[in-house]
């Protein structure tokens, strides 16, 4: 569980590491955490342009390309069983009541 708001990005990057290692290209590994942070972080609009303005000023094109290229296919993140197990462990470790 995230201890403070100042380290949530580090925790997210650590959690994403097994997936980032499989993305290959350096710009994909850089854009993925930004995109995920944009989806789960503050902000009313979850479209790419507002996310890029908040998280990666000047990198709208790269973030848009990451999302539009669909690089997160089955081969990019490994088999679904490993992915599901990782998600399950995160959900089980996070109290929701």
Pick the residue with more confidence: 4 or 65?
A: 65
At residue 83, the pLDDT reads 59
Burial 40-59 (b: 16+ CB within 10 A, else e): eeeeeeeebeebbeebbeeb
Domain carrying residue 13: 5-93
User: What is the pLDDT, as a whole number, of residue 2?
Assistant: 47
As for how many domains the chain has, the answer is: 1
Task: Note the pLDDT tens digit of each residue in 68-77.
Answer: 886 555 554 5
Q: What local confidence, expressed as pLDDT, does residue 91 receive?
A: 57
> Could you tell me if 17 and 77 are in contact, meaning their C-beta atoms sit under 8 angstroms apart?
no
CB 76 within 8 A of CB 23: yes
Residue 9 has what DSSP assignment? Answer: H
């Amino acid at each position: 569980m995230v201890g403070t708001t100042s380290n949530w990005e580090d925790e997210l990057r650590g959690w994403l590491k097994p997936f980032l290692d499989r993305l290959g290209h350096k710009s994909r590994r850089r854009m993925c955490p930004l995109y995920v942070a944009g989806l789960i972080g503050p902000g009313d609009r979850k479209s790419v342009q507002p996310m890029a303005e908040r998280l990666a000023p000047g990198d709208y094109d790269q973030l848009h390309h990451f999302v539009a290229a669909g690089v997160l296919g089955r081969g990019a993140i490994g088999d679904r069983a490993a992915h599901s197990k990782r998600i399950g462990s995160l959900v089980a470790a996070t109290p929701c009541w």
